[in-house]
Amino acid sequence: MSSTEWAAQALQSFDAVVNATEGFRSRAGQRLMAEQVARTFSRATLGKVDEEGGEPAPTRSIAVIQAGTGVGKSLAYCAPAIALALARGTRVLISTATVALQEQLVNKDLPALAARMPQPFKFALAKGRGRYVCKLKLDRLAGHTEADEVEDDLFAEEEAAARAKRPRQETEARIQFYSAMAQTLSKGVWDGDRDSLETPPEPEVWSPVAAEGASCTGKHCPAFSQCTYYDKRKELVGAQVIVANHDLLLSSLGARVLPELDNCLLVLDEAHHLPTTALQQFACSMDLSRITWIERLSSRGLRIGALLEVEEIADIPKHAAQLRQTLQDLARIVMDVYGEQLKSQPSAWGPARVRVPRGELPEQLIAPLGLLAASADGFLEALRAISKALRAEMRDKPDEAKRLSTLYAQIGMLAPRLEELHATAQLLLQDAPEGAVPAAKWFTLEMDGDFIVVKAHASPILPGTALRNHLWNAVRGAVLTSATLTSCGHFDFFLREAGLHGDEAATTLEVPSPFNYAAQGTLIAAETRADPKNAAQFTTEMVDALLHDIARVEYGALVLFTSREQMRQAVDALPTAMRSVVLVQNALPRTLLLKRHRERVENGEPSVIFGMQSFGEGLDLPGRLCESVFITKLPFAPPDDPVGEARAEWLRAVGRDPFSELVVPATAIRLAQWVGRAIRTEEDQAHVYCYDKRLTRTSYGQRLLKGLPPFALEQRAAL
């Protein structure tokens, strides 16, 4: 079948679903998007291609689609993509940025679609290992099995130290908690997924029982037949549609956890998050101060390697000693060079931080980092030999699987630290040739009780380069979509950030929202006398104007702040009568806060949410739940982000303007997301207030306005 015929067939499936949906209104924009999805996926060459055998080079086909709020993008990409996948004998991999959208797709959109599609299909949710429980770990911590080395096995030194400081009753409470978890798991009441617990535990409680790959022996594990993670993996094998997230997609590249990217149809929803996720994924760090884990890993490696007669363990003591000494030397040198700067910084909101200008490390750090990388590499080689011998032993002696799995876990619990140390040293040593892009490099200092903790960090600064090298070179057919992919009216910024700028396989499409923004919404540019750059004066004046405006809120409203301090001052200024109306982010769990907000509005009472960036996108509060959005200040990124600083420094060095090229476009996307909380349906009426006069008074403010929905604009002088 030709690509044109495939595309036509996929569109017929989309039309059939629309026609079969009772009360569904036809949307021109949605069909336009479905056409582009069908065309894109029908053109891509899937599967192995033998170019040496005379086959033509595979065709890559990628569409970047901005679909405004209300277009119905989930149906526009799901129906044609699934129809094409079924016709072509392949699978659809959908990646999102948030758990909320994953759950919406799996629990609502895909079941509804499966009931209306002409062809049946199965779908499954893919999560990282860490979201599932390891039964072996849980049983040991719950005291359900003998464990000679429970503490040594399963707790990193930080956790062991924390346990020593805990009151005895808290430790006993944890054991009871793990015991209750083990019982619900064994009875089938709980499926082993952290997210399906009624109250998901805090990270420090969950981490010791999480199913991490480094300590997993897979089919050799005695609990393999009851393993939640592998049960979920089996579901993926039989599914034609798999819903994952950007973190899992990037972390599992080349690991065969998800469908092979050259032989599936990839949809990236909430694609504006992809560049940030990529930077987080490819960044690394190492602790220069807390190093007792090296001794534990060394002793375990020697003991287990000797049991298995692994020759490569002979050099482990030398590597371990070198690592300990070099980390101590590095911590001392960092404090000698940067100590005054680190100690002089206030650390109310996190560790003190100092960045290395231009990524050029001081000469005295180079040799120790080289030693560190070499020692870590040698140590890792020895651990790989031990792991290989353990797997061979498990294969040959299945009766001893439990003992051997425990030995494997003892090394696996600590090996990732060594791998991270090796990766960080290598990236720190990476020297950018003349004109090339340097990595961001920085050091942090924080206190752990009375103990000083020094860490080293490194990260790429261009997400597009990382994505081009690691993702796009493997992908054949992809659709990237979101409500906010253009910045100031253009796709260029996102294409650069996502690594698709100049890629001949990539096409763009902007599908406008069906909403009549001019009639449904008003943007009120409320000015202050104070310059927003003068934080203290501006915040005082802005809070006065904000309190004046929210006093008139009749139903639901959302106030978005750019800093904790700004939000704190607004909360402190609330008059007594208004305190009962305001719900503050983090004062309650998010789900409970939103539930309380809905209940108040449904009862005809006013309810105002105070939130920050994470409340600025993904919140769906239609109708009266959000009749007003208040933006306290333009949402520029924090000025002390070391990766952003390093990137701006590099742009200036090559004669480019980071503010115009980087800061304004990134702010435009963030602002569009914040403003997007206001109008969620065709019936909504809402007001958006912005108290930052730079939006209308500056040339870059005019660029930001171009990227916003075409609301009716009102300008209000300072009160």
pLDDT tens digits along 80-94 = 999 999 999 999 999
Of residues 130, 309, 281, 139, the one with CA closest to residue 215: 130
The model's pTM is 0.90
Residue that the structure tokens 């476009």 belong to? 665
Higher pLDDT among residues 391 and 558, named by residue: 558
Q: Confidence class of residue 158 from pLDDT cuts 50, 70 and 90?
A: very low
Which pLDDT score, from 0 to 100, does residue 157 have?
A: 43
Contacts of 297 (CB under 8 A, 6+ apart): 320, 379, 383, 411, 414, 415, 417, 418
Which residues, in sequence order, are bridge partners of residue 265? 92, 477
Residue 346 pLDDT > 70: no
pLDDT(152) > 70: no
Give CA–CA dist 539/440, Å, rounded.
Answer: 32
Count of CB atoms within 10 A of residue 384's CB? 12
Phi-psi region of 435 (alpha: psi -120 to 50; beta: other; left: phi over 0): left
By CB atoms closer than 10 A (0-12, 13-18, 19+), residue 28 is: exposed
What tens digit of pLDDT does each residue of 532-547 get? Answer: 999 899 999 999 999 9
Among 251, 133, 222, residue whose Cα is nearest residue 181: 133
Residue written as token pair 């007594």: 576
Q: How far apart are CA 542 and CA 284, in angstroms?
A: 39
> Taking residues 133-144, what's their average pLDDT?
82
Pairing of strands 477-482, 61-67: parallel
Q: How far is CA 500 from the centre of its chain?
A: 20
The reported pLDDT for the residue numbered 349 is 57
Cβ atoms within 10 Å of 357's Cβ, excluding its own? 11
Has residue 554 got a pLDDT over 90? Answer: yes
Residues 6+ apart with CB under 8 A from 273: 97, 246
Query: CB of 466 within 8 A of CB of 275?
Result: no
- Our measurement of the distance from residue 233's CA atom to the centroid of its chain's CA atoms, rounded to an integer in Å, reads 21
